[in-house]
Chains A and B, each alone.
Chain A
Amino acid sequence: MTTEQVNADVESSRLRTQPRERPPRSTLSRHRKRDRSQARPPLRTVENPLARGLGWFGIGLGLIEVMAPRGLARAIGIYNHRALLRVFGLREIASGLGILSQPRPVGWMWGRVGGDAMDLAVLALALASSRSRRGRVAAATAAVAGVAVLDVLCSRQLSEQTGMIDESRAIRTHKSMTISRSPEELYRAWRDFDNLPRWMSHLESVRMIGENRSHWIAKGPAGAPVEWDAELTEDRPNEYIAWRSIGGSDVDHAGSVRFERAPAGRGTEVHVDLAYRPAGGMTGAAVAKLFGRAPDQQIQEDLRRFKQTMEAGEAPTTRGQPRGA
């Protein structure tokens, strides 16, 4: 396995496991409330209420189509197409279950739109057929068209939320690590913001420019530095530090670190939250490039470097060691 392959692996697994979501306007309010049980709520069923309604509607309609195709055919005025209605019924049930079983069932919702097109095509044929009762068929067509509009609306909503249409460019991570030092020592090291570039590899420098203000310079894409000012928004000694960028910066950045004493002298659990989103003149792509291809991984490495620095006094390296050509 080459490093590139491992990299690609890391990248693809990140994409698989991380639902893309827009971070809230301010991540800070969430930091304050966050406790362990809230850290990452498992997402199991569909969140969008419209999608949920359409999912259940599809299952209901599908059951009627499968179990009472003859009655349904009569009701909508088409000549007895029992086999076809049963197949359509199974399709409705399958997509209904698909929608209900996923938090953001974009594919299943667009599948419903396709199904609506099939329904409308069959109804159009029936309208043209002399054996159908045209009044009833027309009413059924209107009903299907109504549902189709809802399906399209809902699909587009979901697509936007999941970034299929509008790619969300924000970066937001939460990482935890246990470090064999006291909360006091760790807090002291972190509270001195000048230290941050020692373990946060995307930072060039951080300089205090006032009691609660600091000036940050990050290594931007193509070597061009990205700069912003940040203010301390919360500071509870030995427990919690939070900061965020001040309006007018190129990047909207918020971060926090929480120090929790681990049981029985096992050191300190350190929980770090970081969020970056484009603002001002900066494009989303440029924000993404601050962290390379795997921001989640990079921030994990940053926190690991903090641990190594605090525990071992140095970060291990092989850079500069000999090797064969």
Chain B
Amino acid sequence: MKALCWYGTHDVRVETVPDPTILNPRDAVVKITSTAICGSDLHLYDGYIPTMQRGDILGHENMGEVVEVGKEVKNLRPGDRVVVPFTIACGRCFFCKRKESSLCDNSNPNAWMAEKLYGFSPAGLFGYSHMMGGYAGGQAEYLRVPFADVGPIKVPKEIPDDKVLFLSDIFPTGYMAAEQCHITEGDTVAVWGCGPVGLFAMKSAYLLGAARVIAIDRFPERLRMAREHAGAQTINYEEQDLSEALMEMTGGRGPDACIDAVGMEAHTTGVINVYDKVKQAMMLETDRPQALREAILHCRKGGTVSVPGVYGGYIDKFPMGAAMNKGLTIKTGQTFMKKYMDPLLGRIQNNEIDPSFLITHHMRLEDAPHGYDIFRNKQDDCIKVVLKP
């Protein structure tokens, strides 16, 4: 089959590789009909996630048609149309029973690597480094899905791929980011980053009762999307002073909740940007956390900072004094997919939200390297690329 493989920083290629097969009794093989490039794939593309190996197949936003199931998979059969969550979960451990599926104890074959860096290992992920399991991803014609009796959800034939594909990651991820803010009536929620997760966080904040959403970015097309599709007020931090604008918009109190939908490769203006880039280049910090710092500093006293943005390792100049003395709650985590996929499919079916607004580009799998390039460099107003193998 054809698959998009990682060969190094800014080097991804579509190669011919063997077809996947059933390796364990709870596996299934899915023929991919749609797969998206995620913003977090850019962290791999930019070479910031450790334990990648040449030839790794990327892709964790996948859906398609079941073509084969292992002997322990009783709830799926060939022909079923499924959306596959990006986290792999056994469904039976302490964490899975609490529906915290991204914390599954049993799905990472390389748990020891993650334990070295994080103390404990989170769940395995598709196409997201060997530390996270080394599983082949779905930017390919076929995908092997471990614990397939637990993760994938069946979707009705009449809903098009584009409407349900983002149930695989970014819609639940944005939704959980907003839910973690414990939004109450009248709340203002500020969101750093108007990429796909940020946009879903904004829409979800309104679904959960926020009075106002403020979107922060520097790319006009993304800010426009935040205004037009997510109903947000916007701040372009390259044109306005972020602090002044936020204080003005919130009557000097600060947002009730702040969401960092940027993560480890934050950009900012001025000296601090240079500082973080130099430290990252010299391996003195692995992540550039400026969005997180700003979220903590601007959040109102007693507010919540929610972090769906991906971080890999260590950060510097973390304003713990502000977090502690203002009594902030910080919530974070890879998404608890099992908890959100079914209810959010319901919201799509009820026409409360149509996630396909996000898609700016459809491409063939063969053109995926071009997709990475324009997504990475924000060219051609690229916000979301969907590949059709």
Contact = CB atoms under 8 A, between A and B. Distances in A.
Which 6 A-B pairs rank lowest in CB-CB distance, beginning with the nearest?
A324-B5, A324-B55, A312-B90, A1-B50, A322-B17, A312-B106
B24 interface: yes
28 contacts: A2-B53, A6-B113, A13-B116, A180-B93, A180-B94, A300-B112, A304-B111, A311-B90, A311-B92, A311-B106, A312-B26, A312-B91, A316-B90, A316-B106, A316-B124, A317-B24, A318-B134, A318-B135, A320-B23, A321-B20, A321-B135, A321-B144, A323-B5, A323-B56, A324-B7, A324-B17, A324-B57, A325-B17
A316 B55 contact: no
Interface in A251-278: 266-267
B130 A3 contact: yes
Nearest to B313: A1
B134 to A, nearest CB: 5
A249 to B, nearest CB: 30
A314 B24 contact: yes
B5 A267 contact: no
A3 B1 CA distance: 27
Contacts of B116: 6, 9-10, 13
Contacts, number: 109
B11 to A, nearest CB: 11
Given A3-B51, A308-B106, A318-B136, A323 B26 contact: no
Interface residues of B, number: 50
Given A318-B134, A323-B17, 17 more contacts: A180-B94, A311-B90, A312-B26, A312-B107, A316-B108, A316-B109, A317-B24, A318-B133, A321-B23, A322-B19, A322-B136, A323-B56, A324-B3, A324-B6, A324-B13, A324-B15, A324-B55
Contacts of B88: 316
B298 to A, nearest CB: 34
Contact of B107 (A297, A316, A324): A316
A164 B200 CA distance: 60
A307 B112 contact: no
Interface in B39-54: 50-51, 53-54
A192 interface: no
B147 interface: yes
A24 interface: no
Contacts of B17: 322-325
Given A321-B144, A323-B136, A314 B109 contact: no
Interface in B150-207: none
Contacts of A267: 94
B119 interface: no
A180 B92 contact: yes
A300 B116 CA distance: 13
Given A6-B113, A304-B111, A311-B92, A316 B24 contact: yes
B368 to A, nearest CB: 13
Residue picked from A1, A300, A324, most chain B C-beta under 10 Å: A324
Report which residue of A10, A323, A325 has the largest number of chain B beta carbons within 10 angstroms of its beta carbon: A323
A313 interface: yes
A5 to B, nearest CB: 9
A314 B55 contact: no
A313 B72 contact: yes
A301 interface: yes
Contacts of A323: 5, 17, 53, 55-57, 136
A180 B111 CA distance: 18
Nearest to B26: A314
A28 B1 CA distance: 55
B78 interface: no
A181 to B, nearest CB: 9
Interface in B74-114: 88, 90-94, 97, 105-109, 111-113
A201 interface: no
A6 B51 contact: yes
Contacts of B136: 318, 321-323
A132 to B, nearest CB: 58
A178 interface: yes
Nearest to B22: A320
Contact of B133 (A2, A10, A311, A316): A316
A318 B51 CA distance: 15
A1 B313 CA distance: 12
A180 B55 CA distance: 36
A266 B51 contact: no
Interface string B199-242: 00000000000000000000000000000000000000000000
Contacts of A13: 116
A301 B106 CA distance: 12
A40 interface: no
A80 to B, nearest CB: 53
Contacts of B5: 323-324
Interface in B11-69: 13, 15, 17-21, 23-26, 50-51, 53-57
B111 to A, nearest CB: 6
A319 interface: yes
Contacts of B54: 324
B92 A312 contact: yes
A318 B134 CA distance: 7
Interface in A94-128: none
Nearest to A325: B55
Interface string B120-135: 0000100000100111
